A and B are shown apart, each in its own frame.
Chain A
Amino acid sequence: METKADKLQKKAIRDQQKRIKPGECQKYVRMVLDSDILFSKAHGLGHDLKSEIDKLQLNYVIRNLPLKMCVIWERQTGQRELLPTDNLDSPLSAHWDIENQVIQFHTAEELSKERSVSEIVRSLQSSYPEAKHTVALLGHRNKTADSKAVNYSLIDLQVLHQTASVQIPPIAGEVAATLRRFTKAIAEAPYKQQKSETLGTFKKFLANDKKQCVRVVGTSGFGRLWQQHLNRLPLVTLEVAETIIAQYPCPKRLIDAFEKDAETEREKIADLKINRGAPQPLQSDRRIGNVLSGKLHMLYNSRDPNAII
Chain B
Amino acid sequence: MAQRLEIKLKQPNPLFEKWLEKWLEDAERRNTKSQYKLREALQALRSYPLPLSSGRECAILRGFGTTLCNLIDEELRLYNVKHKNDVPLQSTMQTFESDVKQLVESVKKSKCRNSPKKTQTKITKKVQKAIAEEEERQRQVVMSPGSFRIILLVDTQETSGKNKRTLDQTRSYLESFELLYEVRRLTIGDFLWIARDQEGNELVLPFIVERKRFDDLASSIRDGRFHEQKHRLRQCGLQNVIYLVEDYGDNEHLGLPMESLQQAIVNTQIHSGFTIAHTQNNFRSMKHLQGVTKTLIRCFKEKVLLSTAKENLRPYHSSADMVGLLKFRTLYEDSARGAQLTVREIFVQQLLQLHSLSLEKALAIVEVYPTPRLLLDAFERCTTEKKRNCC
Contact = CB atoms under 8 A, between A and B. Distances in A.
A294 interface: no
Contacts of B259: 177
A132 B234 CA distance: 17
Interface string B352-371: 11111001000100100011
Contact of A160 (B227, B299, B349): B299
B231 interface: yes
Interface in A229-269: 229, 232-235, 249-252, 255
**A-B residue pairs, 9 tightest by C-beta:** A305-B370, A234-B338, A305-B344, A250-B391, A185-B270, A205-B231, A205-B228, A252-B390, A181-B266
Given A158-B292, A198-B363, A305-B343, A182 B338 contact: no
Given A162-B240, A185-B270, A214-B353, A234 B341 contact: yes
Contacts of B372: 299-300
A94 interface: no
B127 interface: no
Interface in B271-296: 271, 273, 275-280, 284, 288, 291-292, 295-296
A164 B276 contact: yes
A228 interface: yes
Interface in B241-293: 242, 259, 262-263, 266-267, 269-271, 273, 275-280, 284, 288, 291-292
30 contacts: A145-B280, A151-B288, A155-B288, A158-B242, A159-B295, A162-B318, A167-B278, A177-B262, A185-B269, A188-B271, A189-B271, A200-B235, A202-B344, A203-B339, A204-B341, A208-B224, A208-B227, A209-B352, A210-B352, A213-B355, A215-B356, A228-B350, A228-B353, A229-B389, A232-B346, A234-B337, A234-B338, A251-B390, A302-B371, A309-B342
B340 to A, nearest CB: 6
Contacts of A255: 376
Contacts of A188: 267, 271
Given A159-B207, A212-B353, A255-B376, A299 B343 contact: yes
B185 interface: no
B269 A164 contact: yes
B25 interface: no
A302 B224 contact: no
A107 interface: no
Contacts of A160: 295, 299, 318
Contacts of B292: 155, 158-159
A97 interface: no
Contacts of B350: 228-229, 232
Interface in A174-231: 177-178, 181-182, 184-186, 188-189, 192-193, 196, 198-200, 202-216, 219, 222-223, 225-226, 228-229
